Structures are given as structure tokens and as C-alpha cells.
Chain A
Amino acid sequence: MIRDISLKIAGKAGDGALFTGNMLARILKRNGWEVSTYRDFPSNIRGEATNYTVRASWERIYGRGDAVDVLLGFDCEAVGRHLEEVKEGGIILCDEEDALKLSPFEKGEKTFHPFPLRKLAHERFGNEIFKNMIALGALCHILALDFSWIEEMMKKFLKREEEVTKNIMALKLGCEEAERRIGEEERFPLERRKDQGRLLISGNEAIALGALAGGCRFFAAYPICPASEIWQFLAIYFPEFNGLVIQAEDELAALNMALGASYAGVRAMTSTSGPGASLMMEGYSLSGMAEIPIVIAAVQRVGPSTGIPTKTEQGDLNQWVYGGHGDFPRLILSPSTLEECFELTYRAFNLAEKYQCPVIILTEQDYAQNLRTVPEFDFSEVKIERGKLLSEEDLLSGEYKRYEMSKDGISPRVVPSLKRGIHMVESNEHDEKGYRNEDPQNRTMMVEKRMRKLDSVHKDLIPPRFEGEREAEMGLIGFGSTFGPLEEARIRLEKKGIKTRHMHLRTLWPFPSKETEDFLKGCKKVFVVENNYQGQLSSLISSQIRNKFQWRKILKYSGQAFTPGEVYSEIEKVLG
């Protein structure tokens, strides 16, 4: 019985691998399977090699698997390139012409299903592009997947009726052809399970939905991979929520617009990735100094510089923890699952307004752009808490001071238009009333007031997620989109009889030192796993704990997410 299967669709950019993969993912989800997709796209539109993997499982999965069970190759090079990844006994579905070009040696013990993909597409539709739906139809037959509801689904993706009809025709044609050509014993029928109202969603969409639920009503951003889907989602749905999206001229403007909006009383947000994040550092610092609430979704891609815009990395942790000139408080949240992309985002707006400082949702391309099945989001949990925000009535007594000294460092905020609340918001060092002040005593007091906000924030932060038993032989630490590979590696170790505990950080700043120290105490051997070269999380841990601990690092910086096997085999090396 198949309980976990990975299907890879490979071709050239422009072949429609994304559309085909998205359809396959939806079909699998509707057939009741847990799904996680993985796109490996070049950052151009046409011509270069591309591939998209859909993994489906009975169990909840959070990321890519280790090997490919089924390869759908649109051209000979694509088949050749990925053949090695296919498990022994796996299936390759490809064009019959391409299959002829491969030697028996190359083919090994793998089952080939040569199919007249291109020929059928040309003959029936006069356009090669339909080979992708013909292939998908064939796959549905091999896997015994139900797609009777596909029309309704395709209508969501394709604008023209004619396109929907043709694509469905191609899909059915592929299915029928496969029925004729492929013997029953060569099929891999998948058990149909209950779908139970789950969602198939990307991290960017989950963040956008979190923003919508969390009361965000202003969003300014500049186009950048892999963050733009947040904005594109909000651009569609904001009008019915009386919100506004604006395309800024650059990231400098994007963040400053959002800060202007927040100052004027709106829950405001921006999103960006590496190069845009660098431009946002000045506004990040302004938000800290002027104490203006702001939420920034920072979707990491491969750096430095332009790097690889469409691939995943965790190399901007240092930038958000240490970046922006001067000392100022900041909160950095990191979703460990897609449902947390939603949850941490709506909570970020409450945190930003309560503590009047920047709040970062730090995630990665792997989570942001790939799809995963998640349980339905619970909107009844969403609460809107606006912190110390004064109304005209609150201002009746006493003089209003924007940066009034307080025990918790938080001063009352007033939205412009209130008669008694007239004040200055200052990027220069300022006094309680917001007027520039360079007096050493005032300066010292003001720095301490701002930083003091972090003293009381702990109760509102999201603690690390722990998996496995408290006392363990082996400990694994990670953040963000490495959750899946770490969890699967942990389960494999457990199966081998090695007690393993996994800590996934969901707040990166202020750093959860106590929890981390306790975790390190409880595990004999510890691995810190992250997608970057320098071990940025590892360095952060070192700087934030008091006692000396040893751990090993597992690092990957190829632009690809970890597979569970990669993490496991690194750990296995020290098992002896």
C-alpha cells in the first residue's frame, strides 16, 4: 500500500509545469491526501530547465521527500536530468520519442510509460502545450485519481471558457489513452481518503489571509520574488474590506508609505525579500525610533546581492536581527508551519500596535511559494488589540506627550485629527513631547525607554515548538521551513531507538534564551540545522545563552530546501 509518494514534473520554463503541478496537487488533495509541493524554477519566464514536485502522504507532511516515485518528463533532457532521483521500481512517464533515445542501461529497473504526448497534442489541439494536460490525465489513470470535479477547479485558474474546455478535453484524452495502453498491473492505484475541508495554500497566501483577518488595511510594496503573492492576494480582496494596496516606486518608499499610514491610524504592512530588505533598513530604524507600529513580511531568497531570486535560503536572519542603524526594539517571528504563517501574521499586528515597534514575519521561499495542505484556519481566535491608542475623550485631562515616560516603555499613541493630541513624531532623538533633544540625560532615558519595551514582551511571544520527549539522546534545533525535514529525521531516529527532541523556534527576537538553554541541557548531542553558510542561527544562540554548550551544525546553501534524508544522514554519521 502506498502511503507516501513524490511525483516530479520536469521540463522547460514555459511548458506549464506550474499549472500541471498545481492541478495535480489539487487532485491529490481532493482525493484526501496530505500534499506538499516543491518548485524548482529558474528566475526567467521561458526556456530554462524547470521542475515541480508534488509529494502526497497519508501523514501530515511539511516539506519535500527524499526520492521521486513518478517522473513526468516533458523532454528528453528533463528525463535524463532527473532519472537518477527516481527510485528503483519507480515510473517514468514521457514522450515516446524521448524514451527511444535512452539506453537500457540508463533506464535501469524503472518502468517507462512512453506516451505520444507531443503527437497527440499536435493532432488533437494543434498546440504542443496541451501535452501537459494529456500527461496529467495519464497520471490520473495510473494513480486511479478521481478528477470528476476538475471543471470547477480549472475555472478558478483559467480565464477563458475555451481554455477550460480544451484543457479538460486534453486531460480526459490522456486518461483514456492511458487506459488503452497501460496494463492494470502497471498502475499504482492510490487509496481515496476523506478531504475533510482542508486547505491547499501557500505561505504567502496564508500570510495575506492573516493580514486580512488581523485588520491590515494598508499595504505598500515593490515587486520582488518570492514575496509578491502576498500583495497580489491583498490587491484582490482589499476592496471588499475597505483596504488599499499601493505599488511603491521602490522599497524605500514602500516602507515609508506604510509608516505614514500607520502613523495616521491604519494597520499597515509591507513585504519584501533580500535586496528590498536591504533598502528597508533605514525605515526599519525609523520605525524603532519614532515608535511607529509596522509589520514586515520578509520572505528570504538566495543571497547575497541578487542571488537566486526564486530559490530558498535562511541567510537574512542576521540582517533582521542586527540590521537597521542604532539600538531599537524589534520582534522577529518565524512561522514553523503554514498555519503559523496565518496565525503569526494576525498576531503580529497586535504586537506591533501594543509595543509600537517593527514586527517581522521571517519566512523563506520554500514556505512562501510552495503549497501545503493545512487544517482550516480558525477566525474565531483572531482578536484585535490596538494597545495604548487614545481617543479625544482620553485626552480631556492633562497634557498629551507622544513619548511619555512609562514603566513598560510604551507611551500612548494618538492618530492625527484629534484636537488635543497635536504632536510631533521625530526621527531625531527627542524629548517626551517629540521635540528634538540632544541632552545626554534625555538621550539616555529615551534609549532605555524604547528598549524597555522588550522587558515585558515575553508573555506575548510565541514559545518554541517542541517535539519528542524531554530527556533525549539527540536534539535538533531549527526555524522556519526546515520543520518538515527535521521532524521526519527525528521520527526516523526514534524508529531506530534513539530518543530525539526537536525544538523549532518561532520567535527569533527577542531570543528565547531560557527555553534554548533548557533544551541544550536536556539533550546529549545537538544539531542546529539551517539553510545558510555561516550558521546564523547557531551564532545567534551562542550570543544569547550564558552557559557553554557544544553542538554541531548542518548547513545547506545550494538554494534547495533540505530533504529529510539529508538531515538524517548527517546525524547518522555521528551515531557510530
Chain B
Amino acid sequence: MRELAEYQLEQPTWCKGCGLYGLFTAFKRAVSSLAIEPERLVIVTGIGCHGRFNSYFKSYGFHGLHGRVLPVATGIKLSNPELKVVGVSGDGDAYSIGISHLIHSSRRNIDITYIVANNHIYALTQGQTSPTSLRGFISISTPYGCQENPLNGPLLAFASGATFVARGFSGNVRGLSELIRKGLKHRGFALVEVLSPCVTQNKINTYDWLRENIFVLEEENQHDSRDRTKAWKAMTREEKIAVGLIYEEEKPSFEELVLPRSRTSLAFQDLHPETQKLKKIMEKFK
């Protein structure tokens, strides 16, 4: 446990009531309960309202390009596995422009905690329909109603091989914080989707709408987060959105499998040219 104040650099300036406040608090609590040192934590963000997350948080931060959170996080984790690497994206970042990275990071099972704040809309660009917007959703980009079906991020990550899949709600900070804490402790790829209302642009998927449309897995006796069939059922329930720890399993993580057996991480290798070894390689071209 470390003091919460240790992690806060600045007071966030999202719209009053934004779901990202709940996420910010929940994340701070999770990190503090695990006593992660700020210098050992790297938060990578993409483009969207969530993108400011690491500017407010005291840790190493990388605010990159739209959709490329996971590739950057992958490069960091592989270079220095001692770092706790967290990605934060929005639904546009994770499920639209960066979707292939979600699929491939899931199947790689690289040890990254990936938090996706899903507000069902492109908020920063003034409110266009997003890949999680419901069919019929009216916005400035679909004034006559969206005719595409919403994407289920946790289900996709699960199908792609993610070893930890959870969904939280920023209206329930305590529950969300617990899910993030578990996600941070998990070794391997952990997706934590956060239902995070946009109070300015999205008048449909509000806190009230979410409260009515979610069901909490922990309250259901029959759910078992280690059972693939039950996880599938929980995520594909027609009328309601599952919230809670949906699925988890233990598998070797990517960096454990691929990194060279050196006690020093890639980031701190001695780069002085090993002439003898290089010459031996050169011999092969003679």
C-alpha cells in the first residue's frame, strides 16, 4: 500500500461527471494497493478523452498515436519486463483504428494490462458513432441512425486468446478498482473494459442506462471465471451486459517465452561490440 497522493500529479480536467474520473480513482486505488512504484509504472495512452490519463498520473507516460497503444506497450514490456506496463485506450482507439493490435496482443498473451474506456461514442471529435454504438444510434456521423452492429471487445479478446477478460463500470469505483487490481496482478494479457459514460456527447448510454442494462457476474452463483463456456455465455447474453471478472487462466506470457535468457533486460545490455562473435558470423560469408 502506498499513499494515493503519491500518484496524482495534477487534477484531471475532464467534463464534470465524466466516467473517466471513476476510472482514474479506481486505477489509483488499485496501483496504490499493490504499492507499485511510480518509476516502475509506464502508462501508454492513445488518442481520445482518455489520452490525458497519464498526464494527470505520476508515472512514466507515453501519449502516442491513435490506436497504437498496444504496439508501443509491447515494445516497452519486451525491453524491460521489470516495468509494469499499462495501456489505456478508448473504444475508438482499441476497437476501431487499433483493433488488430487488440487481437494480436491477446493471442501473444503479453503481460500488459489494457484498460479500454468505452463510452460508446467518439467524444473528443465532437460525437461521432463508435464501433460500440448501438444499432440505430443517432449522432453527427449517423444522423439517420447507425446501421452497423456494435462490437463486443471483451468477447473478441477472449476469442483471440486473452488470458484475463473483465468488464467494469466507472459508476462502481470499488468494483472497478478490484478488477483493475486483479488485472494488474495477472501475468499475461489482461483486458479490462470500462463502461464509462460520456456526459457531454452521449445522452443514450448514460449512468442510469448502464445501471439498468448491466448485470454483475459476482452476484450470479453459477458464474465461474475459469470456465470458458460460462465466460462465453456471460458475454453473449442478449439483453444485458456482463460486468465483473469474466474469464481468467494461467498461461506463460509472451515475454517469458521469447526473451533471451539474460539476467539483464534488453534495455540495459552492454552494447560494446563483441568482435569475436561478430567475426565468427562474418566467416560464414567467406
Contact = CB atoms under 8 A, between A and B. Distances in A.
Given A423-B60, A427-B64, A263 B271 contact: no
A237 B238 CA distance: 51
Given A248-B71, A256-B72, A264-B267, A209 B78 contact: no
Interface string A365-400: 000000000001101101010100000000000000
Interface stretch (A110-118, A215-223, A404-412): A215-223
Given A256-B71, A422-B60, A416 B273 contact: no
Contact of B65 (A197, A282, A421): A282
B78 A422 contact: no
A253 B104 contact: yes
Contacts of A426: 63
Interface residues of B, number: 57
Contact of B277 (A201, A241, A246, A266): A241
A416 B267 CA distance: 10
B149 to A, nearest CB: 24
B83 interface: yes
Contact of B60 (A156, A199, A218, A416): A416
Contacts of A416: 39, 42, 60, 76, 80, 83
B258 A246 contact: yes
Contacts of B282: 199, 209, 376-377
Interface string B55-77: 10011111111011011111110
B76 A260 contact: yes
Interface size range on A against B: 35 or more
Contacts of B267: 264-266, 415, 417
A209 B76 contact: no
A436 interface: yes
Nearest to B63: A426
B233 to A, nearest CB: 29
A256 B65 contact: yes
Q: Chain A interface mostly helix, strand, loop or mixed?
A: mixed
A168 interface: no
Contacts of B44: 260
B4 interface: no
Most chain B CB neighbours (cut-off 10 Å) among A254, A258, A264, A428:
A264
Contacts of A205: 285
Nearest to A421: B39
A200 B271 CA distance: 27
21 contacts: A198-B286, A199-B285, A209-B281, A212-B281, A217-B269, A217-B271, A220-B75, A237-B281, A238-B260, A244-B259, A252-B68, A253-B74, A256-B72, A264-B267, A265-B80, A290-B62, A376-B282, A380-B275, A419-B37, A434-B61, A436-B52
Interface of A: 156, 195, 197-201, 205, 209, 212-213, 215, 217-218, 220, 237-244, 246, 248-250, 252-254, 256-268, 282-283, 286, 290, 376-377, 379-380, 382, 384, 386, 415-419, 421-428, 434-436
